[in-house]
Chain A
Amino acid sequence: GDSVTQMEGPVTLSEEAFLTINCTYTATGYPSLFWYVQYPGEGLQLLLKATKADDKGSNKGFEATYRKETTSFHLEKGSVQVSDSAVYFCASYSGAGSYQLTFGKGTKLSVIP
């Protein structure tokens, strides 16, 4: 079945540092890929998505590029802020009759001033 692997956390960065959270996937065919963010005490919100190879999703300064050759969808941000502190989940959906999003285990990011 499908699976998503994210880098283990927690990740602690200083404000304005560069962020990378690695995500790789295994799936049948060519899945759609998503990054969701969960702020403390809240539900998950879609951060960005990409539905085909070489697509770049972007939102709020975050970017991720769908790399078919490396089966990856790494999340990046050039300059993090304290308000970016949250848990980030990578997810995939390959369809094929399944309604299930497959989530990674989540990476907790803490940004310190």
Chain B
Amino acid sequence: DAGITQSPRYKITETGRQVTLMCHQTWSHSYMFWYRQDLGHGLRLIYYSAAADITDKGEVPDGYVVSRSKTENFPLTLESATRSQTSVYFCASSERWSSQETQYFGPGTRLLVL
């Protein structure tokens, strides 16, 4: 199906483990984004990518790594998970990025770090 998908939808891990969250979009959108959603904070941008091989930090990048070797994929890696990274993670994409553009969101990955 066309759209933006995330996997896994739910993940439980332990402190110190490496975790990778996957994001895949079928629209060939140039821009992709990773957000985390926490109670009392709304959504905060972790990293974004303007095209393949171009990534940059958002508001809360510490503890996360991203890559974008293909336009359609934008994985987010927690190199050494911490309890503070327990959150719901949303991937988003947009065709262009301007004040007129809409971001399209995936269904989210709920991550619990024990």
Contact = CB atoms under 8 A, between A and B. Distances in A.
Nearest to A92: B99
Interface residues of B, number: 27
Contacts of A58: none
B107 A101 contact: no
A31 B105 contact: no
B90 A43 contact: yes
Interface in A16-72: 31-32, 34, 36, 41-46, 49, 51
Contact of B98 (A44, A49, A95): A95
Interface of B: 4, 31, 33, 40-45, 48, 50, 56, 58-59, 90, 92, 97-100, 102-108
Interface of A: 4, 31-32, 34, 36, 41-46, 49, 51, 89, 93-95, 99-101, 103-106
